[in-house]
Amino acid sequence: MSHPHPELTTPPALPDNGLRVVALGGLGEVGRNMAVLETKGRLLVIDCGVLFPEDHHPGVDLILPDFSYIRDRLDDIEAIVLTHGHEDHIGAVPYLLKLKGDIPIIGSALTLALVEAKLKEHRIRPYSMAVREGQRERLGVFDLEFVAVNHSIPDALAVFVRTEAGTLLHTGDFKMDQLPLDGRLTDLRAFARLGEEGVDLFLTDSTNADVPGFTTPELEIAPAIDKVFRHAERRIIVACFSSHVHRVQQVLHAAEKAGRKVAMVGRSMIRNMGIAAELGYLKVPDGILVDLKKLDHLPDDEVVLICTGSQGEPMAALSRMANRDHRIDVGPGDTVLLASSLIPGNENAVYRIINGLMRLGANVVHKGNAKVHVSGHASAGELLYCYNIVKPRNVLPVHGEWRHMYANAQLAVASGVPERNVVLAEDGVVVDLVDGQASVAGVVDCGYVYVDGSSVGGADEALLKDRRILRDEGFITCVVVLDAATGKIASGPEITARGFVENEEIFQQVIPKVERAVEEAVANGVRDDQQLQQVIRRAVGSWVGGKIRRRPMIIPVVLQA
């Protein structure tokens, strides 16, 4: 089993008979999925998604893959292939197309409709090609075949890539639900046929690899949702992903049986479900949908709201309801149904919202206390089936945190894949397939790119560190005015502090220390403002660290008068 090492360097040139795979996101994290394939000097991008920020990313809206590896080679890209329409697979497409707008995008009808709606907001008109399962397309040196897989969104596809250097099968996100709501099975016959042809490198979804057995069929959660609807006293508020068509379909069926009307809340939910209904992927019972503005005229026990915010996103509808910052005023007797799993890293934010809603008197039903959600990803038993059917020569686990990918690698080895042919890699690690053997060849720069308001890439780790310090430790300003002629202190030091429980008078204790430090520095010939600012910062920092046990941001200001 190959492991990336810190001493990895820039990879050598790819041999003519080689196929190179570089993940620019999605390895070691849940989100930001993006893989770049290269052979014969041409590139193929599979997925281009975003990662949602956590608590340690204050002020950040989205996190993108780092495009610097391909920025100078945009003309070499044959296409962007999208496996399905979730944000963590399509969300970064607008930002890549802003670099070069005519890169073709390829995907299923629903996936393209979702991404095109997103691109319209960015004023980008893409070159797109819709494909279906079983379809085969030649794109330069890449020969692509698309395979049906089921997931928590309709129309998901795996992609099989044939090249002169070898073959690659990328599952995308998938599971093997044997009772899918839309009747569309993961095509194991196609997997077996491709296995017979020979899969040189198998990129498999790792998200549930550490979960034993098989993922529960979507059909089995319908009774639990119906039970929630039967026992709800007042309004029912359902929170799920804005692209989770299957879950919304189940809620519509349950609402129809319970004689309730449904309103969609949130721009992305209204847009995506409108697209799904228009394309026939969402079957909406006649007369069941109502506009949010008309809810005031309906009794509470005839109302269902479907909104976003199941992951604790601070600006989503559910968070705002929990904070009483939404027109929907949640109260006693209301039932809130969280119809989604917890993405790793979002646990605290979600439980904060659950606590907030329960404090308002709502009954909160979630995966922890009822069977109201099933995963969209294959568990260990399903992955073993795939390995035994496909019989790949080499395996590269993708999509998941390190623990997920490691568990996936162990499954591959258990199924008979030689340990040296299972490659564990992280974002930016270069994996080359040469003469049928996959191995780590080097590493390329691959950091986080932050979308911060209208800025893309402007925020960096240093800025976020400053924000975290301001948030957690507070700040102190210290203003000193010096006589320009003599260098003596003419006014100050004046101390202002924010974010401290102590009375501001305590900071008067540091003024003599600052005065002495400045006078000594001036006596030693220091007259440069920046150097004097450093002297003040050290004096204040030393005192506040020892006296108050804090490490705030210190902003010294030196003025010459």
Main-chain dihedrals φ then ψ at residue 336, nearest 5 degrees: -110, 125
| Cα–Cα distance for residue pair 485/526, rounded to 1 Å | 13
Q: Is 291 left (phi over 0), alpha (psi -120 to 50) or beta?
A: beta
Asked if residue 493 has a cis previous peptide bond (ω within 30° of 0), the answer is yes
Using DSSP, state whether 342 is helix, strand or coil. Answer: coil
Strands (E), 121-231: 128-130, 136-139, 142-148, 157-163, 166-170, 201-205
Crossing angle of helices 245-258 and 222-231, rounded to 10°: 40
Tell me: is residue 374 an annotated ligand-binding position. yes
Tell me: is residue 366 an annotated ligand-binding position. no
**306 with 238: CB under 8 angstroms?**
yes
The secondary structure of 21-73 as a DSSP string is EEEEESBSBSS--EEEEEETTEEEEE----B---TTSTT--EEE--THHHHTT
Tell me: is residue 377 an annotated ligand-binding position. yes
Tell me: is residue 375 an annotated ligand-binding position. yes
By C-alpha distance, which of 40, 234, 246, 76 is closest to 154?
246
Using CB atoms within 10 Å of the CB of residue 442, give its burial: 0 to 12 exposed, 13 to 18 middle, 19+ buried: middle
| Cα–Cα distance for residue pair 438/165, rounded to 1 Å | 11
Q: Is 287 left (phi over 0), alpha (psi -120 to 50) or beta?
A: left
Crossing angle of helices 267-278 and 245-258, rounded to 10°: 90
Q: What value, to the nearest 5°, has the Cα angle with vertex 106 and ends 105 and 109?
A: 115
Tell me: is residue 246 an annotated ligand-binding position. no
303: tokens are 């109302």
Main-chain dihedrals φ then ψ at residue 524, nearest 5 degrees: -90, 10
Kindly report the length of the chain. Answer: 561
H/E stretch holding 524: none
By C-alpha distance, which of 473, 448, 471 is closest to 61?
448
Which residues touch 113 (CB under 8 Å, ≥6 apart)?
85, 275, 278, 279
Quickly count helices (H) and strands (E) in the chain.
15, 25
Binding-site annotation: residue ranges: 373-377
Q: Cite the annotated binding site for substrate by residue number.
A: 373-377
